[in-house]
Amino acid sequence: MRTYQFVTLMSISAVLISCGQPQKEDQEKKDDFKFLTEQFADAKILRYQVPGFEELTLNQKKLIYFLSQAALCGRDITYDQNYRYNLLVRKTLEAIYQNYEGDKSTDDYKNFVIYLKRVWFSNGIHHHYSTDKFLPEFSREYFITLVKNIKPENFPLIKGQTIDQFIAEMTPILFDPEVGSKRLCLDPGKDMVVNSSVNFYLGVTQKEVEDYYALLKKQDERNKKDTKVSYGINSKVVKEDGKIREITWMIGGMYSPAISRIVYWLEKALICTETQEQKAALEKLIEYYKTGNLTTWDEYNILWLKDLQSQVDYVNGFIEVYGDPLAMKATWEAMVNFKNFEATKRTEIISDNANYFEKNSPIDPRFKKTEVKGITAKVITVAQLGGDCDPTTPIGINLPNANWIRKEYGSKSVTMDNITYSYDQASLGNGFMEEFAYSREEIENYKKYGYLAGNLTTDLHECLGHASGQLMPGIGPDALKNYHSAIEEARADLFSLYYIMDKEIIHFGLVPDLEVGKTEYDNFMRNGLMTQMVRILPGKDIEQAHMRDRALIAHWVYEQGKTKNVIEKVTREGKTYFKINDYDALRNLFGTLLKEVQRITSEGDYKAARELVETYGVKVDPVLHKEVLERYKKLNIAPYAGFINPVFTPEMKNDTISDVKISYPEDFTKQMMQYSKDYSFLPARNN
């Protein structure tokens, strides 16, 4: 599970008070670093630094280099998973960009470049948050002109295909709004499989998929096979000759060329592992990629959890199910990191006191774990992003996702300190808080406590929120189907919101006082009720799981607290604001909702999940939405951020790596084109 940055638009003070923030001398070194590099459409491109890399041992640097190469080799997989024609589109657009010699000063060409950047930013032609198809702001005719200006051999043509036939194939994919209109359909009134363009299914209906896996589970139960595995997490379901089958993502199966390269670099990394536990986990991950066996995947996750001493760590695999309407299929992602020892003191306090949080949670005792096992939490420095984590990335991760492993073995939770720091620095002085905060006091509190409040919320969300509670016997992780992701994120958010105002965290030394919690409450309610609307087009519903989670929490507590005026809607000079009048009452409301959301999760209550999400988490007030968009437009801020990765370059001496140097490129386009040159292993028409 992940946490995404939702305060990136706000102005944050450079006065950072949380554990592990950059020391003064470190800050002085960063003053000249350019975090924000460009903006286009609704996106901005940032860079992040990797402080502390130079101080690592040579072995650790080599390990990061090898793991980083593995992280980049799966890039094509993410594109293809998002839509079966994404690689064809990307390679076509890149061929035009690389070979076009016509007039590049026209608005049409500039719009072509923006469209290409949007494809890179979203790993395909669907918006990374709304999942709607975005259309080029240049005409079909101009596209045809571009294509015919370039030699046919530069394009990914099928054998015997003419350039006119190629154009006829491409134009509806790019320009027809009805072709692949929605990457992810979550409308329960429709067949969500048929109406989703995501490349996890072909020729099958939602009922056929559900029946297929229900039968598979029954067969495994009868044959006494492992039924705790994450069914379908690493495969595509297709119907051929009237029969339904899975195509597994593995060496020798689907995505084999890319996975083979991932494994190549993982095998290189084996010689640099820091501990026997880390080596054993990597060996098991390699075995999983070679076999596609889901039991092996679980064995790998358990071994990965046991590696607690290595400073360098990684995420690599088919992991998150946000992109599947049935919450079964996982997109490929990767991330390489190393531990920030100083900042980790904060998360160690949280994990060491996990049983206190579980015991005192406001949920029904039936759904509490009798003992919280194996929770480890750390603050990390990200070294490389890949797959579904690149270029847009979460700021916190809690893994593994399998509930039974969490219960029996625990979980690892990370907060990405250098990523949140980059968000912070790029947003300084943008005027967002001044526009949307109700009072000067809110702004000053955010300057004083905002960074700590945000990081601590992420810590609680990932470390304890996702790891808390338990499912009832017989309830599987797919019971809530299309509402699983929104409900799970709401559960973790509510856990963190409830405890960030717990007086005990002052005694733990996590906060100086409860003003930190009040600051987070102000931020959360402002965002959930109002400011996250800047990410939604007029007339559209909320689609993204984390946005649905925040909306349903904010609107539920607002409605429930109306009789006591817990949260007040204020109009001043024609502008809308939200003001919290009773923080303690709001905390109690968060606790009440957490109790219900945990019940829904533990009992697999699909009907209640649907009612909660659809009532509070989907629809947008059109009048307030229009106002927010107008106010936001004046600030000239892009609502979404993605990152340029650093580059690791080995220095050689007598065929041996003698050092690894790090550099920080500034050009998003150059990095994307370089990635397509060096890390493109799948054909344009993969299946």
Residue 2: pLDDT band (50, 70, 90) is low
Residue 13: pLDDT band (50, 70, 90) is very low
Average pLDDT value for residue range 121-137: 96
Residue 687: pLDDT band (50, 70, 90) is low
- 17 has pLDDT over 80: no
Structure confidence at residue 493 (pLDDT)? 95
d(CA 484, CA 557): 21
pLDDT digits (tens, 9 = 90+) for 649-677: 999 999 999 999 999 999 999 999 999 99
Residue 429: pLDDT band (50, 70, 90) is confident
Alpha helices by DSSP H, listed for 362-503, are 403-409, 417-426, 432-436, 440-459, 484-499
Structure confidence at residue 6 (pLDDT)? 52
CB proximity list for 633: less than 8 A, separation 6 or greater: none
Of the listed ranges 303-317, 409-423, 503-517, 641-655, the one predicted with least confidence: 409-423
- 15 has pLDDT over 80: no
**Other beta carbons less than 10 A from residue 512's beta carbon:** 12
pLDDT digits (tens, 9 = 90+) for 209-252: 999 999 999 999 999 888 899 999 999 999 999 999 999 999 99
Which amino acid is it at 632? Y
Structure confidence at residue 31 (pLDDT)? 58
Contact 254, 683 (CB under 8 A): no
- What angle do helix axes 86-99 and 140-148 make, rounded to 10 degrees? 60
Beta bridge partners of 2: 397
* Nearest partner of 518 among 508, 531, 506, judged by Cα: 506
Residue 23: pLDDT band (50, 70, 90) is very low
Residue 19: pLDDT band (50, 70, 90) is very low
Which amino acid is it at 551? A
pTM summary value: 0.87
Structure confidence at residue 371 (pLDDT)? 86
The rounded mean pLDDT for the chain is 92
Strand pairing report for 312-320 and 331-339: antiparallel
Structure confidence at residue 242 (pLDDT)? 93
Contact 480, 610 (CB under 8 A): no
Residue 467: pLDDT band (50, 70, 90) is confident
Average pLDDT value for residue range 444-455: 89
Which three-class secondary structure state does DSSP give residue 624? helix
Q: Considering only the C-alpha atoms of the chain, give the largest distance between any 2 of them, rounded to a whole number of Å.
A: 76
Q: What's the start-to-end Cα distance of the chain, in Å?
A: 29
- 165 has pLDDT over 90: yes
Q: Give kind and range of the element (H or E) at residue 575.
A: strand 575-580
H helix count then E strand count, the chain: 25, 16
Q: Percentage of the chain with pLDDT > 70?
A: 95
pLDDT digits (tens, 9 = 90+) for 595-632: 999 999 999 999 999 999 999 999 999 999 999 999 99
Tell me phi and psi for residue 646, to 5 degrees: -70, 165
d(CA 431, CA 546): 24
Average pLDDT value for residue range 75-89: 98
Contact 48, 418 (CB under 8 A): yes
Average pLDDT value for residue range 563-588: 97
